């Protein structure tokens, strides 16, 4: 699953290079430049991919390694 996530990240990077919108001045919804809207969509896409990463590719073993360590100290801030 981890590799699928990396694959999605590569897809996002490829989609980010939106050469086809280079000279497009269209305003979507009457005010939003299409380039800006598209790139904002990339930001939303990134959030979705990273959400999937936390669900399906999270390195839980690192948590266990840290918990076993003597250096850990607890305190409450939140």
Partner 1 sequence: MTQLVIIGIYLGMLLCLGLFSSRLFKGTSKDYMLASHSIGPFLLLMSIFGTTMTAFALVGSSGEAYKEGVGVYGMLASSSGIIHSLCFFLLGIKLWSWGHKHGYTTQIQFFRDRLESDRIGIILFPVLVGLVIPYLLIGVMASGVVISSITEGAFESSFAAYDYGIPPWLGSLVISMVVLIYVFFGGMRGTAWANTFQTVVFMILGVVTFVVISNKLGGLEAASNAVLEKNPSKLMRDVAPADRERYSERYTSWVTMAKYNYVTKVAKTLTLTPDQKEEAYQAFKPRMPNWQTKAQAVYAAKNKLYELTSEEINKAMLIQDDRVMPDPFPEKWKMGLMTHHDLKEYPRKANAEKEKSMLIFGGKIGHPEKDLDPNDPSKGKKWTIKKARGVYRASNWAPDAPHPMSKLVFLTYFFVPLSVGMFPHLFQHWLTARSAATFKLPVVAHPLFIMVVWVPCVLVGVWATSATLNGAPMFPPHFPANAVLAAMVKKMTSPVLAGFLTAGILAAIMSSLDSQFLCLGTMFTEDIVVHYGGKDRFTDQQVVLMARLFIILIVAITYGFSLLEPRRVFTLGVWCFSGFSSLFPIIFAAVYWKKLTKAGAYAGILVAIGSWLYLFREAGYALKPNYTFLGMMPVATMVVCSAVAMILVSLITKPPSKETMARFYPED
Residues that bind partner 1 (CB under 8 A): 9, 12-13, 16-19, 21-25, 27, 30-33, 35-36, 39-40, 42-44, 46-47, 49-51, 53-54, 58-63, 65-69, 71-78
CB of 68 to partner 1, least distance (A): 8
CB of 44 to partner 1, least distance (A): 7
Return the structure tokens found at 11.
């897809």
* Percentages (nearest 5) of helix, strand, coil residues in the chain: 65, 5, 30
What's the rounded Cα separation, in Å, for the pair 17 and 26?
18
């Amino acid at each position: 699953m981890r590799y699928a996530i990396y694959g999605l990240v590569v897809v996002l990077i490829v989609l980010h290079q939106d050469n086809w919108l280079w000279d497009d001045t269209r305003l979507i919804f009457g005010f939003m430049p299409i380039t800006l809207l598209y790139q904002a969509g990339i930001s939303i896409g990134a959030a979705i991919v990273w959400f999937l990463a936390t669900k399906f590719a999270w390195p839980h073993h690192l948590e266990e390694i840290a918990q076993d360590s003597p250096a850990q100290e607890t305190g409450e801030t939140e």
